[in-house]
Structures are given as structure tokens and as C-alpha cells.
Structure 1
Amino acid sequence: MKPHQKNRSRSYYRHQRRRTIQRKAKIAEHNGWYVPSKGYFAKGKVHCSCWMCSQKTNKDGFPHSQIIQLERLKSQLSDYFSEEE
């Protein structure tokens, strides 16, 4: 007997993988994306998270942490350009 037994069978994992791939393929088909193979959807996200596509960012603005980060970058740039003069 093996020291560690698995709770789930291979068929369970196959079923879950097939289910998630079908869901993601349906989303891609709805958006008209070209997909070379369906196995591409086995892992990862199916949506674009850029600032232009993200509805949450367009509606609510950037999160607090990103606002602070942008302010730091702006201050670094202003310091850099002021030192050159």
C-alpha cells in the first residue's frame, strides 16, 4: 500500500480539466479570438487585464497601492530631471 493515497481518481481530474477548458473556449469563441488548440486553456486566465479593458479600473479608478506607486514614480522622474539642470 502507498503511504499517501489520493482522494480523487484520474477521471475526476480529467473531467475538471475538460470542464474548465470548455468554459474558457466558449468565452474565447464568444469574443472571436483565434485559438490554435483547446489545450491552451488548461491553465491561466482568459481575459485581458490591461487598464483599457479592465472595467473595474475604468469605473472605480486605480487601487490605493497603485496610486502611491504612480506618485513615487512621478517624484523620482521630477527629481531626476531637476538634477540634470
Structure 2
Amino acid sequence: MKNRSRSYYRHQRKRTINRKLEIVRYAWGLNKAEDSEHPFITHPGKLSKAKLNCSCKMCKYEKHYDIPKPNVKSKTDLMQQDIKEYFYE
């Protein structure tokens, strides 16, 4: 493990906080003037370890409407094909 200075860790923390703060401001639509009471805006240090997961129906369409992912669908199709071949031969 490399010996890194405090300034390196401060820089990395500040970089991740700023990236997540931009996501909060532009993707979630929160601004300083409008939603100054939101904890991520008033205390941006909370974003250093926060996960910005979104579970809305628009972002997790497959999950909410039980649509299988493409890799799962292809595997089930192959399994169905093998079953048909086995029973019809």
C-alpha cells in the first residue's frame, strides 16, 4: 500500500462529493435556492459515502413490471429449446 498524504484523501473525497452533488442538482432537479433544506444540499459531506440509487419505475422498469433481463431471457429460451428437443426426439 502506498503512503498517501492527507491532501490526496481530501482531494478524492472532494471529487466524489462534487460528482454526486452534480447528480443531485441536475438529475434529481434540486437547486440551492429551491430545496435548501435537503440534507445533501445543506451538508454535502454526507455524499462522501452515500449511494445515489434510484428505484423509480422509470429507472427500474424491468424490476417493476417483471420483465426479464436479456441474458436471463436468452438462457431460458435455450433451456426451453433443449426441453423441446429432449421430449420430441
| TM-score, scaled relative to structure 2 | 0.50
1:32 aligns with 2:29: yes
Give the structure 2 partner of residue 22 of structure 1.
18
One-letter amino acid of the structure 2 residue matched with residue 42 of structure 1 = S
Inter-partner Cα distance in structure 2 for 1:32 and 1:51: 15
Q: For structure 1, which runs of at least 5 residues remain unmatched after alignment?
A: 65-85
Q: For structure 2, which runs of at least 5 residues remain unmatched after alignment?
A: 31-37, 73-89
3-state SS in 1 of match to 2:18: helix
Inter-partner Cα distance in structure 1 for 2:67 and 2:58: 13
1:47 aligns with 2:53: yes
Inter-partner Cα distance in structure 2 for 1:21 and 1:60: 34
Greater displacement, 50-59 / 5-14:
50-59
3-state SS in 1 of match to 2:22: helix
**Structure with bigger RCO (C-alpha 8 Å, 6+ apart):** 2
Identity of aligned residues (%): 41
RMSD of aligned alpha carbons: 3.0
The alignment of Structure 1 onto Structure 2 pairs a total of residues equal to 59
Residues 51 and 9 (structure 1 numbering): CA distance in 2 closer, same or farther, change over 3 Å? same
Inter-partner Cα distance in structure 2 for 1:53 and 1:20: 25
Deviation at 1:36, TM superposition (A): 2.6
Deviation at 1:55, TM superposition (A): 3.9
**8 Å CA contact retained: 1:51, 1:57:** no
